[in-house]
Chains A and B, each alone.
Chain A
Amino acid sequence: GAVVSQHPSRVICKSGTSVKIECRSLDFQATTMFWYRQFPKQSLMLMATSNEGSKATYEQGVEKDKFLINHASLTLSTLTVTSAHPEDSSFYICSARPGELANTGELFFGEGSRLTVL
């Protein structure tokens, strides 16, 4: 199946700093990528849909200035958590859907990035 790479897998930062998480589709082009957030023992909550070459679409309640998403190429989307606070600590997971499978619905997920804000 298609491969999605996410980096870093773990990051610890101080409160007030910004952290960037990268999501790459390694063997396919993805015009759309999705960013999810997962709290311990809970489900995935969709944060935003990243669209190549245009602005991301954020879900209700997600601060776009807090979680900056950039999808500059067909294989890379980045999520930047700005001015991080301890409550931003979470597991962030990206996913992508190959363009030729746009109608099948199957998503390929990265391995996730665990953010800890001290």
Chain B
Amino acid sequence: SQQGEEDPQALSIQEGENATMNCSYKTSINNLQWYRQNSGRGLVHLILIRSNEREKHSGRLRVTLDTSKKSSSLLITASRAADTASYFCATDAWNKLVFGAGTILRVKS
């Protein structure tokens, strides 16, 4: 299975702090994507990084990709209570997305 692994499984931080989540995967990919899921809801796309890119920014989000280590990280800076959600990485290969286990982020106000 190509399903990625994410760590930590759960992360609890104070508002204003930065949150870092990591994702590892097993096979070659076209791109890697990060999604957010609020409890009991669908997923929202956050950011996509292609296999030939190493870093990408979007607002308070920073994603890195290391294809040699088959790993990616998602950094959320200056976290807010509204960032509380589950975050999933997903690897895109052979035209389908395979999701990692996810990190549950809780931002305390």
The one of A44, A49, A106 that contacts B88, using a Cβ cutoff of 8 Å: A44
Query: Which label, helix, strand, loop or mixed, suits the secondary structure of the A interface?
Result: strand
Residues in A with CB closer than 8 Å to B41 are 111-112
Interface residues of A in 77-111 (CB under 8 A from B): 91, 93, 95, 104-111
The range of chain A's interface size is 20 to 34
Question: Counting CB contacts under 8 A, is B59 at the interface?
Answer: no
User: In the complex, which residue of chain B has the Cβ closest to the Cβ of A108?
Assistant: B45
Closest Cβ–Cβ distance, residue A48 to chain B (whole Å): 10
Chain B positions 15 through 52: 1 when the CB is less than 8 Å from some CB of chain A, otherwise 0: 00000000000000011010100001111110010000
The one of A32, A109, A114 that contacts B43, using a Cβ cutoff of 8 Å: A109
User: In the complex, which residue of chain B has the Cβ closest to the Cβ of A114?
Assistant: B40
Residues in B with CB closer than 8 Å to A91 are 40
CB < 8 Å A-B pair total: 57
Question: Counting CB contacts under 8 A, is A56 at the interface?
Answer: no
Closest Cβ–Cβ distance, residue A60 to chain B (whole Å): 9
Tell me the complex Cα distance, A107–B96, Å.
10
Residues in A with CB closer than 8 Å to B30 are 105
Residues in B with CB closer than 8 Å to A109 are 35, 42-44
Closest Cβ–Cβ distance, residue A112 to chain B (whole Å): 5
Interface residues of B in 31-81 (CB under 8 A from A): 31, 33, 35, 40-45, 48
> Is the pair A111, B42 in contact by a Cβ cutoff of 8 Å?
yes
> Is the pair B96, A46 in contact by a Cβ cutoff of 8 Å?
yes
Instruction: List, sorted by A's number, 14 A–B pairs whose CB atoms are closer than 8 Å.
Output: A4-B42, A34-B96, A36-B99, A45-B99, A93-B43, A104-B48, A105-B31, A105-B33, A105-B48, A106-B48, A107-B43, A108-B45, A109-B43, A111-B41
